[in-house]
Chain A
Amino acid sequence: MSETAERRGFGVAPAVTAENREFWAGAERGQFLGEHCTACRRYLFPPRSYCPGCGGRELESVAITGVGTVYSFTVNWNRWQPDLPVPFALVLAEFAEAPGFRLLGRMHGDGIHHLRVGQAVTLGFDAGPAGLHVPCFSPVGGDA
């Protein structure tokens, strides 16, 4: 499979909304943006322009750049759509730099059948449905 096809996303495009527009714009630039409440220091995802801790409505965007840790994962084998390339892996990762933050994305690399909870992953973006850049992961040290 070509590199392009391997990295092509699948699924259904998420609706772009007033709350998540900035997230998707950041994704297009290759940045994963989370929301951060300066008042109570919470990291928030998904973005909703609202802090549940203090009710704050003015949140700053912060780029998450560090290494993630696998919280859970699964390797999908079933062809849910006729042309779905299988198998592929999904990882739910956490980030030490942003406690409470958790992100689901496709996992790339050769090790998808040997994934472990706790392993380190780096964040990237795939070409997703409807031209959106969706979060994905790669092994630390592997090619992104």
Chain B
Amino acid sequence: MVISGIGLSAVGRKLERSGLQLTLDAIGTAVADAGLDLTDVDGLATYPGPIVNYIPGLVGPDLYEVADALRLSLGWHSSTPQGCGQVAPVVGAVMAVAARLCRHAVVFRTVTESSGQSGGGRGSIGAGLAEADGPLGWLLGVGAMSPANWAALHATRHMHEYGTTKEQLGWVAISERCHAARNPDAVFTQPLTMDDYLASRPISTPLSLFDCDVPVDGSVAVVISAAETAPELRSPVRLEAMGGALRHRPLWDQWDDLTTMAAHDAAEQLWSRTDLRPADLDVAQVYDGFSIFVPMWLEALGVCGPGEGGSFVEGGIRIGVGGELPVNTWGGQLSGGRLHGYGFVAEAVRQLRGEAGARQVGAAEVCAVGVGGGPIGGALLLTAY
């Protein structure tokens, strides 16, 4: 399987453009980027699908709305709120192509969280809900109203067990801001100093404002194509392996060891599906909804040992463009914008094609993508074609 195309709409704060328009922009760009026509597209998927809009702007346009707008003839389609994280529809698309239900599947992820939340700042999960079903009830019912609270529990425990420091998390934010400065699509590009980072207001300790991703409006579309179509494609990237295992209790408050996440299960499965090893990675794009997730993803991927993630990111040297393993070279969700997992996929493809411009990592041939935090996680391994 290959990823044959990527497309981004405009990405920014309070764009005056509906989720549907952003989606159509992104899909059009992605299909053209692949060297295909819309009539070639016979698969369509998205995350999360029609769930309760827990956070304003989280849920993108309806899958059927998009399919009908484009008048697609579909061999396969799916939306997946529960699966191996935000990249679950990518995994689904790969399986659908492998099963020959379709040849070219588009996966889109659209957020309008900047417009959705303008006016009051980021709200709680489920504001306006009369009651919360299932596992979320145990969190919301006791006042743990935001994923920031849930991620903070991971961070506190990781700091306790491994001595991870606030400054180390700060290096994630600082490094990504440096990367963002070279990304024309990034929302925050002004340099961030450690003083700025440490002075930022606390959100849920130990996480402060610059430890949290920035809501944006934007859409990303990715085209997954059957490998045998490669001769028709402009610049495919190989999908070498994927992982989305979930082998522990799938709840934020009941996950057995909070110094780990579903990322660890997903990454373990990923590496079991390939002969490549962590040492083969040239670049990594890993979820940073909250800064703590970056060192945890690096540990999960075996880039460093358990508890060594803080040291790995410290100073921003290893994870910088010229470093041992550049991470989130597009600025991540902290500075590039909260495209909810798909900014990482798009950047991985750009790096492996040599299309990352001023932030291109030299000779990038192997890139890991890790998406999700807490009990939510999926991983992809992409290689240059």
Contacts and interface: CB of A to CB of B under 8 A. Distances in A.
A9 B204 contact: no
Nearest to A78: B203
B152 to A, nearest CB: 4
B156 A72 contact: yes
Contacts of A102: 253-254
Nearest to A118: B160
B137 A90 contact: no
B142 A90 contact: yes
Interface in B195-227: 201-207
A143 B204 CA distance: 25
Contacts of B120: 82
Interface stretch (B126-134, B316-324, B367-375): B126-134
A77 B123 contact: no
Interface residues of A, number: 39
Given A74-B149, A74-B205, A132 B141 contact: yes
Interface in A49-107: 71-82, 84, 87-88, 90, 92, 102-106
A105 B142 contact: yes
B20 interface: no
B142 A13 contact: no
Nearest to B258: A72
A1 interface: no
B140 interface: yes
Contact of A77 (B127, B145, B204): B204
B205 A75 contact: yes
A11 B141 contact: yes
Nearest to B128: A12
Contact of B204 (A75, A130, A135): A75
A12 B146 contact: no
A5 interface: no
A11 B131 contact: no
- Interface size on B, as a range, is 35 or more
A82 B124 CA distance: 10
A80 B253 contact: no
A14 B201 contact: no
Contacts of B131: 12-15, 130
Nearest to A20: B137
Contacts of B138: 14, 46, 104
B152 A80 contact: no
Interface string B132-176: 111101111111111011001111110010000000000000000
Given A73-B153, A74-B153, A117-B156, A80 B137 contact: no
Contacts of B132: 12-15
B141 A76 contact: no
A75 B122 contact: no
Given A14-B132, A77-B203, A104-B253, A117 B160 contact: yes
Given A77-B201, A78-B148, A92-B253, A71 B123 contact: no
B311 to A, nearest CB: 20
Interface string B315-349: 00000000000000000000000000000000000
A13 B130 contact: yes
Contact of A71 (B129, B135, B258): B258
A26 interface: no
Interface of A: 9-15, 45-46, 71-82, 84, 87-88, 90, 92, 102-106, 117, 128-130, 132, 134-136
26 contacts: A9-B143, A11-B144, A12-B129, A12-B140, A14-B132, A15-B134, A46-B138, A46-B254, A72-B154, A72-B160, A72-B258, A76-B143, A76-B149, A76-B205, A81-B124, A81-B145, A84-B124, A92-B253, A102-B253, A104-B253, A105-B142, A106-B142, A128-B141, A129-B141, A134-B143, A135-B142
Given A14-B137, A78-B203, 10 more contacts: A9-B141, A11-B144, A75-B205, A76-B149, A76-B205, A77-B204, A78-B148, A117-B157, A134-B142, A134-B143
